[in-house]
Amino acid sequence: MSDIQIILDAIEKFLDKEVRPVARDLELADTYPHEIVQKMKELGLFGATIGTEYGGMGLNAETYAQIVERVSAVWMSLSGIFNSHLIMCAAVEKFGSPAMKETYLPRMATGELRGGIALTEPDCGTDLQAIRTRAVLRDGEYIISGTKQWITNSVEGNVLAVLVKTDWNVEPRHKGMSLLLVEKSAGYEARKLKKLGYRGVDTGEVFFDEVCVPESQLVGEAEGRGLQQILSGLALGRINVAARGVGVARAALDASVNYAQVRQTFGQPIGTHQAIQIKLADMATKVEAARLLTGKAAQAYDSGLRCDLEAGMAKLFATEAAMDNSNEALRIHGAYGYSPENVVERYYRDAPLLVVGEGTNELQRIIIARQLLERNPA
């Protein structure tokens, strides 16, 4: 048995034993899963893609995507807890100074330090160049002021990679943006936000009221590279969201296939009716296609090549598959699917996040088109 299969089997056992029995109650109560997170630490998930030299597992994106699919098929919220964290870690590992890497990555790999990326704000999401959070360098310290919104791991976590404006006058605007690594002990405050789905994981509004951090907390050697640094990490993030889409789409399909064989109408299982069979066929095809696109994007990422096109296609198709399959699952289950006692109701609430998170699907279409034109000049 390969090392990868051993890891995947361990994930499956963890999900069956620790997550599946409690996911529904924790999700409905919007309760943070402290005990599950502790188990995730022990499994090494917070260091999944961090290099082995820093104590991580050093997994490639293809294996990581397989883990995310499995986790998301049981409880999608859990994948967000380590995905946002690992995007932050990727930025530190790729662009941080040697001292920053040695100081932070080993503690991030164990989950002692857990966090995410603080990008979006009340007045900006997809258009990150419109951020207003600023950081002024004074006497060897950055003084940070502003508000971030919809930030995963901001309440329960203890460190964030914060995208800030360090120069308001430079053009183009992205050259005035920098990335700072900020521990909660520096003094920022976070307030948990309520959501339609994606419950259990903490998503918060973060307030920086002249929070001071040493100049050494700048990611990279110079200001003005923050947007490029975070976009590099978002490629992995979009592969993660695509894998989440595969997981939710597969879970909706599995629930529907099972229900279609036990629910009867007119004296026979509903799975014998052509109307249901057509739905199941379309759902299954979308799952397989989404998984293939996600795998291709992960392979492109692992090759070190720019993968905007592949990650955008995977994210677009897989998350739309999750939306479609969760909708069809609810229709197949009828009134039972509308009840919180049934798991498909959760899929129906979780899927919408995927089409707007990590860059809306409308943005993905624009990225795909631009990359097609750039890669295929007339």
The amino acid sitting at 182 is: V
CA angle 107, 128, 83 (to 5 degrees): 35
Q: Is 371 helix (H, G, I), strand (E, B) or coil?
A: helix
Q: For residue 109, what are its two tokens?
A: 């790999």
CA distance 166 to 34: 36
Q: Is 127 helix (H, G, I), strand (E, B) or coil?
A: coil
Phi, psi of 365, rounded to the nearest 5 degrees: -60, -40
As annotated, the active-site residues are: 358
CA distance 350 to 252: 11
151 forms bridges with which residues in the sheet? 204
Cα distances (angstroms) measured from residue 81 to each of 19, 151, 177, 253, 360: 14, 11, 26, 24, 20
Do strands 203-214 and 134-138 pair parallel, antiparallel, or not at all (unpaired)? unpaired
Do strands 159-165 and 115-118 pair parallel, antiparallel, or not at all (unpaired)? parallel
**What is the DSSP track for 298-332?**
HHHHHTTS--HHHHHHHHHHHHHHHHHHHHHHHHH
Would you call the peptide bond into 377 cis, given omega within 30 degrees of 0 as the criterion? no
Cα distances (angstroms) measured from residue 305 to each of 88, 151, 235, 298, 308: 20, 28, 11, 11, 9
